[in-house]
């Protein structure tokens, strides 16, 4: 059965023991350097060499420690800057929250304005459509004349305007919260002639199409007119 191993905390540094080990190592190193009598003459040379090496190591150590200190100082400055940014962001979020709470009641206050705007849009649309209502009989008469005269492209333009007016009025009725069947019936009767005009124009177009081959040779303008009307309807 396997047992879980527990990690023991690291032992504290024993500086006295380390100093003794360093002295013992130094003694052994000196003993190796001075094994022969003639090596005593080089003691000063050894001392200078060791001093230079020690100075080089000290410089490297100071440079490394200074680099670490600079890194720690830079990190602390960045942490301080980040802390300041976090504080400012928190403050701004508090201001945004307060502003939102103060704006929220405006939704209720603006409901009346929204309703009034809806009424205004409906009135503006009604005023715009009144023009079409009053001019519809005249446009119907003019369209009939154009069809009888063979001016089908102009007739189709007037017919499209009538159909657009009718559709706009039907859409306005559809948007009303209380829809009246009487209004719908009145509107359909008022624009009943539009359907008749559409049928008349369609019959004229079929006549032209049936005479396509002859018309291409004799009156190509009629073919172009018919195709342009069909193109408009398809679009």
Contact 129, 175 (CB under 8 A): no
Note the pLDDT of residue 198: 86
- Specify the higher pLDDT residue, 177 or 31: 31
Q: What local confidence, expressed as pLDDT, does residue 126 receive?
A: 67
pLDDT of residue 230: 81
pLDDT value of position 177? 62
Return the pLDDT at 178: 60
Sequence-ordered alpha helix ranges (H) in the chain: 15-33, 43-103, 106-148, 152-175, 181-190, 192-210, 212-218, 220-234
115 vs 74, higher pLDDT: 74
Predicted local distance difference test score (pLDDT) of residue 4? 45
Q: Is 83 exposed, middle or buried (0-12, 13-18, 19+ CB in 10 A)?
A: exposed
- CA atoms of 126 and 15, how far apart (whole Å): 99
Residue-wise pLDDT tens digits, 7-57: 555 556 677 787 788 778 877 877 776 666 666 666 777 778 878 888 888
Q: Residue 214: pLDDT above 80?
A: no
Is the separation of the CB atoms in 199 and 163 below 8 Å? no
Residue 1, classed as helix, strand or coil, is coil
Which tens digit of pLDDT belongs to each residue from 67-103? Answer: 899 989 999 999 999 999 999 999 999 888 888 887 7
By the 8 A CB rule, do 133 and 169 touch?
yes
**Higher per-residue pLDDT: 223 or 12:** 223
């Amino acid at each position: 059965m396997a047992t879980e191993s527990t990690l023991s905390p690291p032992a504290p540094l024993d500086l006295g023991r380390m100093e003794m080990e360093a002295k013992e190592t130094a003694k052994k190193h000196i003993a190796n350097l001075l094994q022969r009598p003639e090596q005593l003459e080089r003691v000063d040379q050894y001392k200078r060499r060791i001093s230079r090496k020690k100075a080089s190591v000290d410089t490297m150590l100071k440079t490394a420690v200074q680099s670490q200190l600079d890194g720690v100082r830079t990190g602390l400055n960045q942490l301080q800057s980040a802390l300041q940014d976090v504080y400012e962001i928190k403050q701004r979020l508090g201001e945004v929250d307060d502003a939102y709470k103060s704006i929220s009641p405006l939704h209720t206050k603006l409901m009346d304005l929204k309703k009034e705007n809806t009424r205004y849009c409906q009135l503006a649309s009604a005023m715009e459509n009144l023009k079409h209502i009053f001019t519809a009989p005249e446009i119907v008469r003019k369209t009939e004349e154009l069809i009888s005269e063979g001016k089908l492209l102009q007739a189709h333009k007037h017919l499209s305007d009538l159909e657009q007016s009718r559709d706009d009025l039907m859409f306005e009725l559809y948007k009303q919260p209380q829809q009246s069947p009487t209004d719908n019936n009145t509107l359909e009767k008022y624009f009943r002639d539009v359907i008749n005009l559409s049928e008349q124009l369609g019959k004229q177009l079929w006549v032209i199409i049936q005479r396509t081959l002859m018309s291409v040779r004799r009156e190509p303008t009629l073919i172009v007119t018919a195709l342009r009307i069909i193109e408009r309807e398809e679009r």
